[in-house]
Amino acid sequence: MAPALSTGLAAARLPAITPPAGVHAFGGQMELGGVSSYIPTGAAAATRQQDVMSLSDMDWFDPSAGVILAEVGAYPGSLTGQARQIIALGSGNDRIILRAADTGPGYPHAYVGNGTSLSGPTNAGTTTVSAREYVALSFSTAGGSYLHRRIGDGAAASSANIGNFSGTTPASMSIGSNLDGHLRNLAFLPGLYTPSEVRALLDSMP
């Protein structure tokens, strides 16, 4: 017996099974419209491309003020020179970008566009790949924007003011790019928060 993995992938088959041997199937996935991320490995191992999610319906997003909050698991540091991007919203000089680590020294970075230029990068702390990391970017059109970070059980820290956001509602956003760790949580909190309020929020997280 050599069952096919999918009717749409006739050439992809499990090895032949000869009784009394058996097979243990687990981790099944049902998808609408086809099978995603299939890798025909053949005789050699292969790695699936990293997930990058995108969203074009941005009616929920408040561009006047808010906080983007992310919890990132420890990453192995294998992508030398690659920016580990958590989220990017908008385009051009109206972008908001939050990264767990940037190229070069590997600090968490944030960029905020004011409509005519893209301010940043601004960093907070240094990279510690052995601990979970909480990163937050608070932005507003009038009260400035700040990058905040907490590593493991340490205390949260905030950057200097990055500058005001343009207030343009982004047409789309993407989540994940070269992010080879685990994005455990990602949240958006609408409203204006002071740096001390964001630090208190990060410090309260388990």
* H or E segment and range at residue 196: helix 195-204
Residue at 143: amino acid letter: G
CATH of domain 62-204: 2.60.120.200
In order along its 206 residues, the chain shows pLDDT tens digits of 444 444 444 444 455 656 655 556 666 666 666 655 555 667 777 666 666 788 888 988 999 999 999 888 755 555 556 677 889 999 999 999 988 776 655 677 888 999 998 887 666 555 555 567 888 999 999 999 999 988 878 888 888 888 999 999 999 999 887 776 678 888 999 999 999 999 999 998 87
| pLDDT at residue number 189 | 92
| pLDDT at residue number 164 | 94
Chain mean position to CA 148: 16
Ranges assigned E (strand) in 14-52 = none
| pLDDT at residue number 74 | 58
| pLDDT at residue number 160 | 83
| pLDDT at residue number 75 | 58
The answer to whether residues 70 and 147 touch, using CB atoms and an 8 Å cutoff, is no
Map out the domains of the chain as residue ranges.
62-204
Decide: helix, strand or coil at residue 203.
helix
For residues 70 and 177, what is the distance between their CA atoms, to the nearest angstrom? 14
For residues 140 and 70, what is the distance between their CA atoms, to the nearest angstrom? 18
